[in-house]
Chains A and B, each alone.
Chain A
């Protein structure tokens, strides 16, 4: 058993692509091995900013010959079929095949032998194919290459059982082939020259002495431990951030966390502004003080062990931060000289969408919509009006111009500075929420009204110009907007029928689809949601979900399961008959004729159905869905007896047959008043 070590060294790979690329490389090489009939025990993949590395253990040094039998066409089959068979089996003519009688006639057979031999002979082909198939999100040519890679590829280590595999990759054009070898390079600044490696253990050790930590998990641990230590030394807490940690581990081969300080003059700028500058623009970790507020320290992770202990690096980073924050402070001071109200005319200059006019026009629509919602949910009309009117005003402030991700947040700060009501200020800050599935939903009435109006306006407006999401295309994030509406309504248990706000029927079904997706993610059975949604017409989401919950609970009971079986039998018989007779559906609509009910079992089902219908109606009206479901429990006995004793399709008396089908259909119709049981899967 032997080890395969593969390293693809290149110029700096974007951090966001590294992990995925390493996994893809592993998958592709492993699939290639399986395809070539080569076994292995374990494969591990690693990535740093400059290399993808794969090590696979437990590969046998050689493969046995494998023979495989292929059945071809019938003897005497057309030439085309014969040629296809020969080509597939790699034979020159039928002389190399044999005839065999299978008992169902004579067929051609070929025995194909896959030559075994040293594994080392097969590996270069597997590596080459994997490299060609590796799906980089974006790739490029370099020099005169015709080959594409994420950035210029520099060298390849390919060792099997400690020996260099014979192979190369040709970038194409005038470029020299990259020949498989045993040498690699260490850290770009902390190591000089190339060095040879013997196997994976040797490789990892030599990389480490050349200042490269191969494993991203170890780099992350070094960053996290180091950053925590630096923070605790100055009594602050590191604001941990998995996404940022992942990215920084992808920007460094030898991470060195360092502590820097924010200039005191910037500490009265809103923390969100400082955080955007630090985290998003400079990839710093922020810290908090004992009071939980943003502290004046940050952690920057360098990719270098500097001769001066990092003084220059920290000073440089502090200076860059100072430059950015000076801009931010300038905007903060400037912006507060004008009121939000005075900025509203500026919205006429910002086009929202070519066909939907300016932000000023959009705000007018939001004001109107928010007013209607406020009435329906009982929010303060004056506050809602003011918040809706001001909700986009911060788009024309200097700060949001420079830091677009602070929209809404800055509106809130400026409103608080102007001493506007807190509920209005909060609504400005909250009205874009929820921004994603993990973002919190607004809960204050004024915020809810403006947040709903913002999203409903976007949905109806884009719908009106035919900009509906299709497939993966959703440039205006309308799915997210619909999901936002759903979450705000459901989480606040708002009794707000949506139809009056949606204008278009297919927009209501778009909501239904979103709701299904959301419920599925919450673990609700999709068929149960489907059974309720497909009743149609329900635009009160809270009521709809109550029905879903009751149905799910009912189906969990013994009575529910049995009734579902009975429903299925009734529906199947009706459906089978409907298939034979196209006009049947019309003939069996409505209640069965009591005079034609002959057997006791029929009569008892009919009266049970009447009883159920009588009980279900008031229960539904009272939104007592559990009660409505419970009413069905009494149906089960009579229906079981019906199926035991009554023949539906009596051949000699068509009027009796029709009446019995009516009865079955009535079972279906009655149950369908609560949910479309045909959607429920077993």
Chain B
């Protein structure tokens, strides 16, 4: 809290929104991490959340994570749906007593004047079947618009947490559309209007949405993906045995993304779907257990005390 950097002015574009949130959460004592360098469905998959939520060590971190949802691709034609978008995630473990006030402070920082808006906390319990994780919390509404998912983690990888992490997830594009009053994500100003080269979100990502949608729905080689899934699953198990939870977890992330791509290609039947989700969950659980084993403080030696 002693950080002297002045609060920046209200953001006017997508990148300033990110910068503002980073500075705000840095001032709250969070590490500012960088995105995890693999394809994942949500910021929760980042080791900074999934793994760090477990074990007895405190952990404050914030980061942007590109989130890949192959099935949500719309070839750039839907103004609100993307197969690649950004989440901003702050995780505070153990959750401090004033976490909601801190969160509301972040809204003020990005330019939401809470005296003009209607902010409400609407019950929403979060669950990730693939991560074997759940928590209780809210969707935060601003004038009826969901702008944040707020969760107190209770279980991750099927394991009850030692310390409860408060997880705050902002869907950045949706929030920016709200702040900058844009009907289409592609119209969002990416950088400032007075920049040398002012660009929109569409300038940066529209082509990517078109091509990646075509890949996700039409061209992804399903045989290869099935193979990748099986390979990653096998490799993950082998690495768990070697007591290497971090590389093992990366294989779990790979398996999960291969599954998402296969699902988008429509080659997984409803009946099979559940079994794939369970297979990923088994990997995630094994990784979480192996990670936790590295985090526990060594048991105090009782022999000395007895003597």
Contact with A along B79-106 (1 / 0, CB 8 A): 0100000000000001111001000100
Min CB distance B279 to A, Å, is: 17
Min CB distance A608 to B, Å, is: 66
Chain A residues near B117 (CB, 8 Å)?
Answer: 304, 306, 312-313, 316
How far, in angstroms, from A12 to B164 measured CA to CA in the complex? Answer: 17
Check B118 against A302 for contact (C-beta < 8 Å).
Answer: yes
Min CB distance A228 to B, Å, is: 21
Decide yes or no whether A15 CB sits under 8 A from chain B.
Answer: yes
Check A141 against B118 for contact (C-beta < 8 Å).
Answer: no
- The one of B95, B119, B125, B144 that contacts A321, using a Cβ cutoff of 8 Å: B144
B270 to A, closest residue via Cβ: A351
Chain B residues near A304 (CB, 8 Å)?
Answer: 114-115, 117-119
A138 to B, closest residue via Cβ: B136
Contact with A along B121-157 (1 / 0, CB 8 A): 1110100000000011010001111000000101000
How far, in angstroms, from A145 to B166 measured CA to CA in the complex? Answer: 13
**Contact status of A140 and B154, CB under 8 A, knowing A350-B270, A354-B271:** yes
Decide yes or no whether B269 CB sits under 8 A from chain A.
Answer: yes
Decide yes or no whether A634 CB sits under 8 A from chain B.
Answer: no
Check B164 against A143 for contact (C-beta < 8 Å).
Answer: yes
Check A144 against B164 for contact (C-beta < 8 Å).
Answer: yes
How far, in angstroms, from A307 to B114 measured CA to CA in the complex? Answer: 10
How far, in angstroms, from A16 to B252 measured CA to CA in the complex? Answer: 37
**Contact status of A317 and B143, CB under 8 A, knowing A143-B164, A354-B271:** yes
Check B95 against A142 for contact (C-beta < 8 Å).
Answer: yes
Decide yes or no whether A49 CB sits under 8 A from chain B.
Answer: yes
How far, in angstroms, from A11 to B96 measured CA to CA in the complex? Answer: 13
How far, in angstroms, from A141 to B154 measured CA to CA in the complex? Answer: 7
Decide yes or no whether A195 CB sits under 8 A from chain B.
Answer: no
Check A313 against B118 for contact (C-beta < 8 Å).
Answer: yes
Check A282 against B144 for contact (C-beta < 8 Å).
Answer: yes
Interface centre among B121, B161, B162 (most CB of A within 10 A): B121
**Contact status of A189 and B114, CB under 8 A, knowing A11-B121, A350-B270:** yes
The number of residue pairs between A and B whose CB atoms lie closer than 8 Å in the complex comes to 104
Check A317 against B121 for contact (C-beta < 8 Å).
Answer: no
Decide yes or no whether B224 CB sits under 8 A from chain A.
Answer: no
Interface of chain A: mostly helix, strand, loop or mixed:
loop
How far, in angstroms, from A354 to B145 measured CA to CA in the complex? Answer: 37
* A288-315 interface (Cβ within 8 A of B): 300, 302-304, 306-308, 312-313, 315
Check B80 against A323 for contact (C-beta < 8 Å).
Answer: yes
Interface size in chain B (residues, C-beta < 8 A) = 36
Check B152 against A140 for contact (C-beta < 8 Å).
Answer: yes
* A7-50 interface (Cβ within 8 A of B): 11-12, 14-16, 49
Contact with A along B159-186 (1 / 0, CB 8 A): 0011110100000000000100000000
Decide yes or no whether A320 CB sits under 8 A from chain B.
Answer: yes
- The one of B104, B136, B145 that contacts A151, using a Cβ cutoff of 8 Å: B136
Contact with A along B1-20 (1 / 0, CB 8 A): 00000000000000000000
B273 to A, closest residue via Cβ: A351
**Contact status of A312 and B143, CB under 8 A, knowing A138-B125, A142-B95, A350-B270:** yes
Decide yes or no whether B238 CB sits under 8 A from chain A.
Answer: no
Chain A residues near B97 (CB, 8 Å)?
Answer: 143, 152, 154
A251 to B, closest residue via Cβ: B120
Chain A residues near B145 (CB, 8 Å)?
Answer: 316, 319-320
Check A11 against B100 for contact (C-beta < 8 Å).
Answer: yes
- The one of B94, B100, B154, B270 that contacts A143, using a Cβ cutoff of 8 Å: B94
Decide yes or no whether B306 CB sits under 8 A from chain A.
Answer: no
Chain B residues near A174 (CB, 8 Å)?
Answer: 94
- The one of A142, A300, A312 that contacts B116, using a Cβ cutoff of 8 Å: A312
Check B121 against A152 for contact (C-beta < 8 Å).
Answer: no
Check B123 against A142 for contact (C-beta < 8 Å).
Answer: no
Chain A residues near B100 (CB, 8 Å)?
Answer: 11
Chain A residues near B270 (CB, 8 Å)?
Answer: 350-351, 354
How far, in angstroms, from A12 to B120 measured CA to CA in the complex? Answer: 9
Min CB distance A399 to B, Å, is: 15
- The one of B104, B122, B138, B144 that contacts A320, using a Cβ cutoff of 8 Å: B144
**Contact status of A351 and B271, CB under 8 A, knowing A140-B135, A140-B136, A152-B97:** yes
Chain A residues near B114 (CB, 8 Å)?
Answer: 189, 304
How far, in angstroms, from A312 to B118 measured CA to CA in the complex? Answer: 9
Contact with B along A323-353 (1 / 0, CB 8 A): 1000000000000000000000000001100
How far, in angstroms, from A282 to B115 measured CA to CA in the complex? Answer: 21
Check B80 against A143 for contact (C-beta < 8 Å).
Answer: no
**Contact status of A12 and B121, CB under 8 A, knowing A143-B164, A313-B143:** yes
Chain A residues near B96 (CB, 8 Å)?
Answer: 143
Check B125 against A49 for contact (C-beta < 8 Å).
Answer: no
Min CB distance A427 to B, Å, is: 27
* A535-588 interface (Cβ within 8 A of B): none
Chain B residues near A11 (CB, 8 Å)?
Answer: 100, 121
Min CB distance B137 to A, Å, is: 8
Chain B residues near A188 (CB, 8 Å)?
Answer: 104, 119
How far, in angstroms, from A49 to B120 measured CA to CA in the complex? Answer: 10
Check B120 against A351 for contact (C-beta < 8 Å).
Answer: no
Contact with A along B270-301 (1 / 0, CB 8 A): 11000000000000000000000000000000
Please list 8 pairs of residues, one from A and one from B, whose beta carbons are closer than 8 Å in the complex, sorted by A's number.
Answer: A11-B121, A139-B136, A141-B154, A142-B94, A143-B95, A154-B97, A313-B143, A316-B144
Q: Which 4 A-B pairs have the closest CB atoms?
A: A316-B143, A14-B123, A12-B121, A351-B270
A contact residues vs B (CB 8 Å cutoff)? 11-12, 14-16, 49, 138-145, 150-152, 154, 173-174, 188-189, 251-252, 282, 300, 302-304, 306-308, 312-313, 315-317, 319-321, 323, 350-351, 354
Apart from A304-B115, A306-B116, A307-B116, list 5 A-B contacts with CB within 8 A. Answer: A12-B123, A140-B152, A306-B115, A313-B116, A316-B142
B contact residues vs A (CB 8 Å cutoff)? 80, 94-97, 100, 104, 114-123, 125, 135-136, 138, 142-145, 152, 154, 161-164, 166, 178, 269-271
